[in-house]
Amino acid sequence: MLVVFVAATAASFSAFAQDPHPGRDVDGTMVAYRQPIPGSEIGIEMIPIPGGTIHLGAESNVTVESMWIGKFEITLEQYAEFAKLHDVFVEFDSKEIRQLPSHDSIDSVSAPTPIYEPSCRYQYSSRDDSPASSMSQFAARQFTKWLSLLSGTDYRLPLESEWMYACRAGQAPLKINEIRRQAVCGHGGESKQHPTGAESLVLRVGTRQPNAWGIFDMRGNVAEFAIQNDAWDTNKPLPVEYRVHRAYGGCFEDPATNCRWNSFVTVDDQWWEEEANIPRSTTWLASVDRHMTVGFRIASPANRMTNDERKTAWQPDSQYLAEDVATKIDEGRGRHGKVDSQLPAAMGQFTRPNGLKLWERAR
């Protein structure tokens, strides 16, 4: 798979010096809001989550700060706005506009290139409101940075403690029948619950009951990437070797017993076992059997992130991964460009001969 490299200069962080997102605080109270994707009519619904604590296994209680979290998983329609950057930067490069001198800035961002066989990769996700899936955790991180740089509001993946806390929604663990009311699950092969397996399944967000805080699909549908708590340390140097990532909540193939608040799947090198390229793809999972089962939702902390936190949330989380991204750029298998509040206007300058914007898709 190819990688497109998007970059933002350090000065881009000045966009976060403004007041918090208007409309999400009312008289000091956190409220639900809709984050527009600049340059489109598409938005992302965000739900406020009160702070608290959660007990994680052998660990002591972990404090969770107040935040907003996506009401739904990121959908294909929303992810497509990010993915279209490939064609955008091809055009920018051909016109030699919005160019950056290098791709190795600490503020660089990678965006996915077009998929070779969408019908296979999105076999169960054929609607605008289907959950986006099969991206790497790094690509999910880059989505949050892209949205942050466009909007001026901090977004990132939730930490694992935040994800589990939001999934529980202040309640005791659910019984199996209660999980089934909240989860699209049990479609893995033939079962009594779904005799036809997943053959005719079309995943969509929001088709089951929400949890007590109004959040949909945290159980089942697609498992969701989160940042592990032990990786959220801005003082630690990057590890050399690739990190193993986790996706929480179970997926449509899993039985309800594997769609609990603390259920997770480990995403490691085996998920790229069909990847023939070297370096492997940094933005797409390559395992035919598994890639359709993983997606993500976004979070926004109540307090502004520091620059160090932004780097930890958005950048490659290992030296090997950072080298892979750089290698793809150096070998011409990726592109770099600038993301800022002026990007939507710059994108609007170019049209196809038929009058469609270069990146508009046929409906």
How many whole angstroms separate alpha carbon 60 and alpha carbon 58?
7
d(CA 144, CA 151): 10
CA atoms within 13 A on the CB side of 358: 17
pLDDT in tens, 97-128: 887 766 556 556 677 777 777 777 777 777 88
In a domain, 363, yes or no: no
- Inside any domain, residue 352: no
What CATH number does the domain containing 215 carry?
3.90.1580.10
* Residue at 278 is within a domain: yes
Residue 343 inside a domain? The answer is: yes
284 found inside a domain: yes
d(CA 188, CA 194): 9
pLDDT higher than 60, residue 164: yes
Q: State how far the alpha carbon of 208 is from the alpha carbons of 36, 130, 216, 218, in Å.
A: 24, 13, 7, 10
Residue 2: band (very low, low, confident or very high) from pLDDT cuts 50, 70, 90: very low
pLDDT over threshold 50, residue 321: yes
Q: Which residue from 259, 249, 283, 216 is spatially nearest to 79, judged by alpha carbons?
A: 283
pLDDT tens-digit profile of 250-272?
A: 999 889 899 999 999 999 888 88
| Token pair recorded at residue 93 | 């490069």
From first CA to last CA, the distance across the chain in angstroms is: 25
Query: How much is the pLDDT for 98?
Result: 83
Domain count, the chain: 1
Residue 355 located in a structural domain: no
Residue 12 has pLDDT above 60, yes or no: no
Q: Is residue 59 part of a domain?
A: yes
Residue 59 clears pLDDT 80, i.e. is over it: no
Distances (CA, A) of 148 to 29, 109, 171, 339: 22, 11, 31, 10
Q: Which two tokens stand for residue 348?
A: 């609007």
C-alpha distances in Å from residue 183, one per residue of 73, 81, 87, 173, 277:
13, 27, 36, 14, 36
Q: How far apart are CA 278 and CA 255, in angstroms?
A: 35
Picking from 199, 196, 205, the residue whose alpha carbon sits closest to that of residue 224 is 205
Of 155 and 91, the one with more pLDDT:
155
Q: What pairing do the DSSP bridges indicate for beta strands 223-226 and 294-295?
A: parallel
Which structural domain range is residue 145 located in? 3-347
- Name the percent of the chain lying above pLDDT 90: 39
The confidence score (pLDDT) of residue 288 equals: 67
When pLDDT is cut at 50, 70 and 90, the band that residue 185 belongs to is confident
In this predicted model, what pLDDT tens digit does every residue of 214-230 receive, in sequence order? 999 999 999 999 999 98
Could you tell me the pLDDT band of residue 212, with boundaries at 50, 70 and 90? Answer: very high
Number of Cα atoms under 13 Å in the Cβ half of residue 175: 1
Per-residue pLDDT of 64-91, as tens digits, reads 999 999 999 999 999 999 988 878 877 8
Q: How confident is the model at residue 11 (pLDDT cuts 50, 70, 90)?
A: very low
pLDDT at res. 201: 80
Higher pLDDT, 133 or 3: 133
The larger pLDDT score, comparing residue 338 to residue 276, is at 338
Specify the pLDDT at position 15. 54
- How far is the C-alpha of 344 from the C-alpha of 85, rounded, in Å? 11
Average pLDDT of the chain is: 82
pLDDT of residue 331: 79
Q: What percent of the chain has pLDDT over 70?
A: 83
Report yes or no on 247 lying in a domain. yes
pLDDT of 3 over the 70 cut: no
